[in-house]
Amino acid sequence: MAAVAFGFRSGRTVLHALDARVKLAALVFVSLAGLYAGLPALGLAFLVAFCLLALGRCSPLRCILGMKWYLVLLACVLIARTLTTPGDLIFELPWLPATRQGVHAGLLAAGRLLVIALLGLLVTFTTRPSDIRAAVEWLLRPIPFIPHRQAATMIGLLVRFIPVILSQSAEQQEALRARSIENCRNPLRRTTALAMPLLRRTCVTADRLASAMEARCYGAERTIPCRPVTAREWSALVVVVGFCALMLGIS
């Protein structure tokens, strides 16, 4: 379970070296293009995403494991669309109202989500969380009314404390099982018995963390490590924009 929180694996590929800002921008562009794309463009994007995953040295097994529940949801989308969209029946069976239009609509809906998810997975696997945080901070800077520094600090703490809270909750569940929580039929008691200690601990941790941060001079003004944008980043961005245009062009 805790493995989920460590999606990133270090590597030396081009994708690992690319600036996180470019990767995030690419993710957004291609996702938006994917929402308007037709089946041929989606097929192409799927192929490209697959090649990129191979380029980033992400093993197919890890990808499938990483998104197995998501794949189940996609299957639901495909089946639901196939069965509920009116049109020409494929099979002459009264209990299987699958239609040609339904299959098309289902493939389109599931394919779009699959492409977006694969690209997201790619970013997750090849980008250090702290780089993502820095990139978010940089990208949020021009947007008014959003305190980008605070947002970046919060994302950093979120990433830092997910594994901590995960292991605390596992500990908590074991402690409850050691005292035979399974025998308790009252769902309300079971819910509070698990959630209450977690929340209490979280509140205490928040107190301590706040004073520790204060002791280390946390304030609004901080130096933000930022890499300069190089020619590689610009050319990658141009390729991405070109690809989006191609996707929209062939739909």
CB 38 within 8 A of CB 251: yes
DSSP 75-100: HHHHHHHHHHS-S-BSS--TT---BH
Give the Cα separation of 71 and 208 in Å (integer): 40
User: Nearest approach, Cβ of 40 to another protein (angstroms)?
Assistant: 20
Nearer to another protein, 69 or 95 (CB): 69
Of residues 163 through 192, those in contact with another protein by CB under 8 A are 163-167, 169, 187-188, 190-192
Of residues 96 through 155, those in contact with another protein by CB under 8 A are 105, 109, 112-114, 116-121, 123-125, 127-130, 132-133, 135-136, 150-151, 153-155
Looking up tokens 């690419």 gives 26
Give the Cα separation of 106 and 85 in Å (integer): 9
Nearer to another protein, 35 or 55 (CB): 35
Bridge partner residues of 89 (DSSP)? 99
**By CB under 8 A, which span of 37-45, 47-55, 73-81, 228-236 interacts with another protein?**
73-81
36 interacts with another protein by CB under 8 A: no
CB 37 within 8 A of CB 112: yes
Structure tokens given for 192 = 């509070």
**By CB under 8 A, which span of 48-56, 87-95, 160-168, 232-240 interacts with another protein?**
160-168
Smallest CA-to-CA distance from 141 within 150, 130, 129, 128 is with 150
Choose which of 11, 156, 233, 248 interacts with another protein (CB under 8 A): 156
Of residues 195 through 214, those in contact with another protein by CB under 8 A are 195-196, 198-200, 202-214
Nearer to another protein, 181 or 246 (CB): 181
73 interacts with another protein by CB under 8 A: yes
Choose which of 100, 177, 222, 232 interacts with another protein (CB under 8 A): 222
Give the Cα separation of 151 and 180 in Å (integer): 41
End-to-end CA, the chain = 40
